[in-house]
Chains A and B, each alone.
Chain A
Amino acid sequence: MTVIGNEKVRKALRYAIPFGLIPATVALSATAFGEKRYLILSLGIAVMAIMLFMAGIEKKNIGSRRMVMVAVMTALAVIGRFIPLFKPITALCVMAAMYLGAEAGFLCGALSVLISNIYFGQGPWTPFQMLGFGLIGLFAGYLSKPLLKSRVLLVGYGVIAGIAYSMMMDVWTVLWYNGSLDGSLYLTAIVSALPYTVLYAVSNVGFLLLLRKPMGEKLGRIKLKYGV
């Protein structure tokens, strides 16, 4: 966050957002607003969470080689979103995370959504999608050792990621429509989104199995050759 020049202010913000600003937003919306607007609350927190992650990445020294590789993976994910029905975006984020680290996974997920939404339409759903795919990439990065070893775990991760993403976006749909999370509406949303959930899970698993070997070889080779 170079927009804030002072190092001390930056450091203060890094602690103020998670420990001060986010709880304050929650408390304010729970008490001050008569009608509880969970949508605006969750939107604000999603944006703050993304900013926190990005600020953390900004601070870290990733190295320009790794950054270029993240850009390549992001571009592939953006192009992949143009494939009708089956989207390889999760698979590509997971691959990026496994070979280039958790931050790379987060960036690949979040930024590919941001870029592809220039074509598909930006909206209040953008932060949620960014956070959703970003977290899928981040966790894949933390679990990279077992995921690299076992194919079964990788398939499991793909299925869970698809279901979790779909359910998270259903929360968003209900919040957008209703303002608060209504149980029966949420159930309706989950049921009506079931075909998409299945589609996500199937395409995640399919692309992960398809890309695991060839993509892994390429990324591994580049890592070995240039010491990324």
Chain B
Amino acid sequence: MREFTDGNPIAVAVYYLCVTVITMFTMNPIVILISLVASAVNYALYAKGGIRPHLFSIALFLILAVINPLINHNGMTVLFYLNERPITMEAALYGITAAGMTVAALYWLRAFGKAMTADKLLYLFGRLSPKISLILSMAIRYVELMRNRWRKIQTAQKALGLYDDGNLIDAMRGRARVLSILISWVLENGIITAESMEARGYGSGRRSSFRLFRFRGRDLLIIAVSIALATVGIVGLSYASIDWYPAIKTNLDAPISIIGYIGFGILAILPTIINTKEAIRWRYLISES
């Protein structure tokens, strides 16, 4: 079973870039509604654990929706007065739309963050820039290495009797000493790594990556479909307009805009479609055997 995020990282990145940029780009309530629902469903497929991962988003939505009418007093339709300041319907609706945009974009990005693990990030950067990718991969490795060595040094120091956790000042001093040893060790070791790299011919060829991501026909298809649907969505959106202040004036239902909404809608549920299709195929294959 090959899920959407198991494809080539380039395809996954292009897809998430398209959908997130359109979501952030627009204040069109219809698109934001589509995006919000689709992104929440998409994220829910990754995040197990019922409602808990969504509590943050719900709280954020409520806070952001309330802030705008409290700060912004533009708009003609006054709902009520708070501390002699008018609270307007236009500002409230704008706040709700802006909050929906923020939460939807965050959902997309959180799903993207879950999909882009460190090895995929390295793969992407390795194509763009070998030097940066090398520093990135070494730094990621050093994070783990340093934690390991910290423990080793600490144990050695304890065995020497130089480390006392009972007294706060002593503990601080002990930590500082461990840190100092750790930095010296890692820096010295790094030089050896560099020598070794050069001796093995670093920089003489194209950089390879640890995990091989093959570029399949499916990945090309995902990239092409994402870009095509995003273009349809952007063109459709450019014909729709909405003015918030002083009174809400909308022009959201031009035929070309509706095609744009449909295009964006398909784009937004693309991972869900692919994952569902793969899941059905998986079930089918199991029942065959």
B33 at the interface (CB under 8 A from A): no
B25 at the interface (CB under 8 A from A): yes
Q: Count chain A residues whose beta carbon lies closer than 8 angstroms to a beta carbon of B.
A: 50
A209 at the interface (CB under 8 A from B): no
A70-B132 CB under 8 A given contacts A39-B24, A76-B146, A124-B109: no
Q: Given A62, A114, A121, A178, which contacts B136 in the complex, CB threshold below 8 Å?
A: A114
Q: Given A34, A112, A118, A184, which contacts B121 in the complex, CB threshold below 8 Å?
A: A118
Which residues of B are found within 8 Å of A115, using beta-carbon distances? 118, 136, 139-140, 143
Please give me the 6 A-B residue pairs with the lowest Cβ-Cβ distance, nearest first: A75-B142, A71-B138, A68-B190, A74-B139, A64-B194, A65-B194
* Shortest CB distance A86–B (Å): 14
Give chain B interface residues in 122-162, CB to chain A under 8 Å.
127-132, 134-136, 138-143, 145-147
| C-alpha spacing A45/B64, complex, angstroms | 26
A67-B113 CB under 8 A given contacts A2-B206, A39-B24: no
A72-B190 CB under 8 A given contacts A1-B129, A2-B130, A35-B27: yes
* Shortest CB distance B282–A (Å): 29
A218 engages B25 (CB within 8 Å): no
* Shortest CB distance A221–B (Å): 8
- Encoded as 1 (CB less than 8 Å from any B CB) or 0, chain A from 212 to 228 comes to 00110011001000100
A218 engages B139 (CB within 8 Å): no
B54 at the interface (CB under 8 A from A): no
Give chain B interface residues in 13-57, CB to chain A under 8 Å.
20-21, 24-25, 27
Which residues of B are found within 8 Å of A78, using beta-carbon distances? 139, 143
25 contacts between A and B (CB under 8 A): A2-B127, A40-B21, A40-B24, A54-B128, A57-B131, A57-B132, A65-B190, A69-B187, A74-B139, A75-B141, A76-B183, A78-B139, A79-B147, A111-B139, A118-B116, A121-B110, A122-B116, A124-B20, A176-B102, A177-B98, A178-B98, A179-B27, A218-B183, A222-B191, A226-B191
B118 engages A118 (CB within 8 Å): yes
B21 engages A71 (CB within 8 Å): no
B113 engages A72 (CB within 8 Å): no
A112-B128 CB under 8 A given contacts A69-B190, A79-B146: no
| C-alpha spacing A70/B131, complex, angstroms | 11
Chain A residues close to B by CB (< 8 Å): 1-3, 34-35, 37, 39-40, 43, 54-55, 57-58, 62, 64-65, 67-72, 74-76, 78-79, 107, 111-112, 114-115, 118, 121-124, 176-179, 184-185, 188, 214-215, 218-219, 222, 226
SS of A interface (majority): helix
| C-alpha spacing A79/B139, complex, angstroms | 10
B178 at the interface (CB under 8 A from A): no
Residue of A nearest to B106 (CB): A123
* Shortest CB distance A175–B (Å): 10
B136 engages A123 (CB within 8 Å): no
SS of B interface (majority): helix
Residue of B nearest to A43 (CB): B24
Which residues of A are found within 8 Å of B287, using beta-carbon distances? none
- Encoded as 1 (CB less than 8 Å from any A CB) or 0, chain B from 184 to 195 comes to 101110110111
* Shortest CB distance A10–B (Å): 12
| C-alpha spacing A218/B183, complex, angstroms | 8
A107 engages B146 (CB within 8 Å): no
Which residues of B are found within 8 Å of A68, using beta-carbon distances? 138, 190-191, 193-194
* Shortest CB distance A70–B (Å): 6
B187 engages A222 (CB within 8 Å): yes
B197 at the interface (CB under 8 A from A): yes
Residue of A nearest to B147 (CB): A79
B132 engages A54 (CB within 8 Å): yes
| C-alpha spacing A58/B138, complex, angstroms | 16
* Shortest CB distance B173–A (Å): 13
| C-alpha spacing A61/B84, complex, angstroms | 64
B132 engages A184 (CB within 8 Å): no
Give chain B interface residues in 256-279, CB to chain A under 8 Å.
none
- Encoded as 1 (CB less than 8 Å from any A CB) or 0, chain B from 91 to 116 comes to 00000001000100110011011001
| C-alpha spacing A79/B140, complex, angstroms | 10
* Shortest CB distance A185–B (Å): 6
A67 engages B194 (CB within 8 Å): yes
Q: Given A65, A75, A122, A214, which contacts B113 in the complex, CB threshold below 8 Å?
A: A122
